[in-house]
Amino acid sequence: MIGKAVKFFSEIKLATVFYFLLVAELFSNFIMNILYINNAQTSIRISSIINILLQIFIIAVILKNIKHVKKVNLLFPALLVVGFFIGQLALSTSDIYATSFKENLYSSNLYTLNGYLYIFIYIIAYRFIKDKKHFVDRVYKMIEYVLVFNAIFVVIGLIFDLNYFKSYPYTGRFGYDGLFFTRAYLSYLYMFIIVLQYKKFIVTKQYGKLAFFVILALILGKKSMYLFLIFMVLLHIFYISKSKILKTVFGLGIASIVIFGKSILVLVVKRMPFWNRVYEESGLLSVIFSYRNNTVERLSTFITEEWNILNYIFGGVDFSNYHTEMELVDVFSFFGIFGLGLYILFFKKIILKNLGLLDKLLMLMIFLTSSISSNLLLSVNVMIFLFLLTEHIKLKNT
């Protein structure tokens, strides 16, 4: 009897802490936004503290139920940890890296490793929740409420041109993110909600909520968001739509972009003051990748000069200096071919498992977007929400 009560309390506690994390993330983003706008320096991030507390609780839940944890669930994080240290030790023999090996390991790389591993331990703890459908439904209702609430401040910022609610305050770049300090976090929330609303639209043909969130996503002003929406339009035209005329028109449009893409892009960029300045100073690649191409070039030089065969297999890099914000590149530099392969297997066996073809294509849209914008695998909350998104879809299909 006592054991059942403790188990029930643990399940409720896990859900409660998770909901608290979601709400706290909203307000911590708001606080960080205010501090940033007012040039107030702080090294403390409230969301990081909350994530640490959640992680401690999750580990406690796992240890309490360790006899019921399938050993295969521990395999992915264990292999990533082993591969990480092999790569770091192999790199420590490099003259350029040896003197700062311990400093880099403890100051940034261990923190980064923890971020990559977080989702694995969360999934293990998630398995102990009994009513998963109710839990996931509540989570995504909460996300929807948060985004609707945040939309008030997006509109206020748009109407009154307030820097507090701009995606890129005190610049000439368009975009409004409301209360959120982290644009990438908000953009993924938009993607996840748009995916769910799009699936509802396919069934009900009601597009009100879908249009609402798409408009908010456009107002955010992130290129990755625009790219995702383009992917969604193409998916709908070529996979869902039965109109041959639409398919022909878009097919010709894509062919034109392939042939005249650079000229068209340059023409568009030159009509936008902010991006025209970037284009004139640093070239078209910097416009497309928001200067990430410069970090990729530095990383490429580092790999060529400092890596050995073990590093190509297991990775090894000072992540704080070579974080490209391009998902696949970052995973390769940090974990090597071995780690990249493990992540592909993880997505295939856990994230994409039991999803229909349309759902897999929708997930592919998110993955393709993250490949040039990052902050998917390393963002604790984003990865949790992505996992719960796929769970939401799977549970709806059952």
For residues 117 and 134, give the distance between their C-alpha atoms in angstroms, rounded to a whole number: 26
3-state helix/strand/coil string of 152-200: HHHHHHHHHCCHHHECCCCCCCCCECCCCCCHHHHHHHHHHHHHHHHHH
What's the confidence (pLDDT) of residue 214? 97
Is residue 35 domain-resident? no
For residues 170 and 159, give the distance between their C-alpha atoms in angstroms, rounded to a whole number: 16
What's the confidence (pLDDT) of residue 277? 81
Is residue 27 domain-resident? no
Is residue 100 domain-resident? yes
What's the confidence (pLDDT) of residue 258? 73
Residue 351, token pair as written in the block: 């994230």
Residue 336, token pair as written in the block: 């090597």
What's the confidence (pLDDT) of residue 77? 92
Per-residue pLDDT of the chain (398 residues; tens, 9 = 90+): 444 544 544 554 566 766 776 677 667 767 776 676 666 655 566 677 777 877 888 888 888 888 888 877 889 999 999 999 999 888 765 555 555 555 555 557 888 999 999 999 989 988 888 788 888 898 899 889 989 999 999 999 999 998 888 888 888 789 999 888 778 889 999 999 999 999 999 999 999 999 999 999 999 999 899 999 999 999 999 898 888 888 888 888 888 777 776 777 777 778 777 777 877 777 777 777 777 888 889 999 999 988 999 999 999 888 888 988 889 999 999 999 999 999 999 999 999 999 999 999 999 999 999 887 777 898 888 998 999 999 999 988 76
Among candidate residues 151, 155, 163, 164, the one with its CA nearest the CA of residue 190: 151
List the domain range (segments joined by +) for residue 190: 71-397
| Beta-bridge partner residues of 166 | 176
What's the confidence (pLDDT) of residue 173? 84
HSE of 17, CA atoms in CB hemisphere, 13 A: 21
Is residue 242 domain-resident? yes
What's the confidence (pLDDT) of residue 329? 92
* Angle, CA 72 vertex, CA 66 and CA 74 arms, to 5°: 55
What's the confidence (pLDDT) of residue 362? 95
If one counts every other C-beta atom within 10 angstroms of the C-beta of residue 243, the result is: 10
For residues 250 and 203, give the distance between their C-alpha atoms in angstroms, rounded to a whole number: 24
**Domains of the chain: total:** 1
Is residue 61 domain-resident? no
pTM as predicted: 0.88
What's the confidence (pLDDT) of residue 5? 44
Q: Does residue 286 sit in helix, strand or coil? A: helix
Q: Quote the DSSP letter at residue 218.
A: H
Cα dihedral value 141, 142, 143, 147, nearest 10 = 100
Angle between helices 327-346 and 292-306 (to 10 degrees): 70
Scanning the structure block, which residue is given the tokens 């580990």?
A: 59
Is residue 268 domain-resident? yes
Is residue 11 domain-resident? no
Is 118 within 8 Å of 383 (Cβ atoms)? yes
